[in-house]
Amino acid sequence: MGQKSIEIFRACTPLFQALSDSYRQDIIVLLAEKEPLTVNEITEHLTLSRPAVSHHLKILRDQKLVSLEQKGTQRFYSLELDHAAALLKELVGTIENHCE
């Protein structure tokens, strides 16, 4: 594999780390089923505290897996998978082209 392939793998590392946590996986599935939701609404469905849910949402936002929309005093979270999907498609394409 060339340098470009290694760079793509490394670019995916933070995404894989964000997706590796079971609570973040639960949040993603919950948002897929019921988006958009507030932190309080997400907390109602999990066994985590509100600060813990906020922490996990920040990690997901940092990796562009969720988006945030402010409506008055409410903050609503929704899935935002375009960036992650494009990055993973690029990784799969690189693997297919260089690992035959």
Residue by residue, DSSP assigns 26-72 as HHHHHHHHH-SB-HHHHHHTSSS-HHHHHHHHHHHHHTTSEEEEEET
Write the pLDDT tens digit of every residue in 67-88.
999 999 999 999 999 999 999 9
| Whether the Cβ atoms of residue 64 and residue 41 lie closer than 8 Å to each other | no
Does the pTM surpass 0.85? The reply is yes
Say whether pLDDT at 5 is over 90. Answer: no
Q: pLDDT exceeding 90 applies to what percent of the chain?
A: 80
Considering the domain 1-97 in this protein, what is its CATH number? 1.10.10.10
Report residue 37's pLDDT band, with 50, 70 and 90 as the boundaries.
very high
Angle between helices 3-19 and 22-34 (to 10 degrees): 80
